[in-house]
Amino acid sequence: MATLHWHNADVEVHKLVVGPVDNNVFVVRCRATGDAVLIDAANEHDRLLELCTTLGVRRVLETHGHWDHIQAVPALREAGYEVAVTALDAPRLKDVGYDVFLDDKEVVEVGRLHLHAIHTPGHTEGSICFQVADTPLLFTGDTLFPGGPGNTSFEGGDFPTIIRSINESLFAFPDEMLVLPGHGNDTTIGTERPHLDSWVARGW
């Protein structure tokens, strides 16, 4: 498929860029079972619903509750897809709805795959990342991008907190870990790790 972004023998990652601020929407699919999960129902619900139908998506995981990451949530919920978000960010979904809470260190099963949820506050209080076990895949939402942390000037953002989340939780992964962020291009932990002190010095 044209949306295929990364794959190995066990996993497919599909990517769509949607909406006015070019949100990345990812589908993680177990090749053995055909089960899949969608990360961030951001926008352009028609395209996302088509992707969900084609790829066997069972549920939606939200990395956080900012408006640009949740515009397609109502349409996906209406189509029967369960939407999960952290309790801390759930209030941001009050107008679009959600179904279940995601917890820190929760393991989300997708067929034979295991996605480990990692609470990484700082961009929002309840921001969460997902690492696919036994792969180099780390979905970071708006916590970590090529070139630094996500914006902390919005309500619920805090710069020292996001730096701590990145340094203690995300930089615990090896250099080859692939970072798939909520906007923009992929990077790796090894590419970003050396720049932490410069991010702290610039203050954003």
Full-model pTM: 0.98
Superfamily of domain covering 4-202: Ribonuclease Z/Hydroxyacylglutathione hydrolase-like (3.60.15.10)
Three-state DSSP class for residue 120: coil
Element containing residue 78 per DSSP (H, E): helix 73-78
User: Over its length of 204 residues, how does the chain's per-residue pLDDT go in tens digits?
Assistant: 699 999 999 999 999 999 999 999 999 999 999 999 999 999 999 999 999 999 999 999 999 999 999 999 999 999 999 999 999 999 999 999 999 999 999 999 999 999 999 999 999 999 999 999 999 999 999 999 999 999 999 999 999 999 999 999 999 999 999 999 999 999 999 999 999 999 999 998
Q: Residue 33: which residues within 8 A CB-CB, separation 6 or more? A: 111, 112
In order of 32, 53, 92, 122, the CA distances from 170 in angstroms are 28, 32, 24, 13
Which of 33, 37, 35 is closest to 25 using CA atoms? 37
Check residue 114 and give left, alpha or beta (phi > 0: left; psi -120 to 50: alpha). beta
> Domain map of the chain by residue range?
4-202
What are 50's two structure tokens? 């088509």
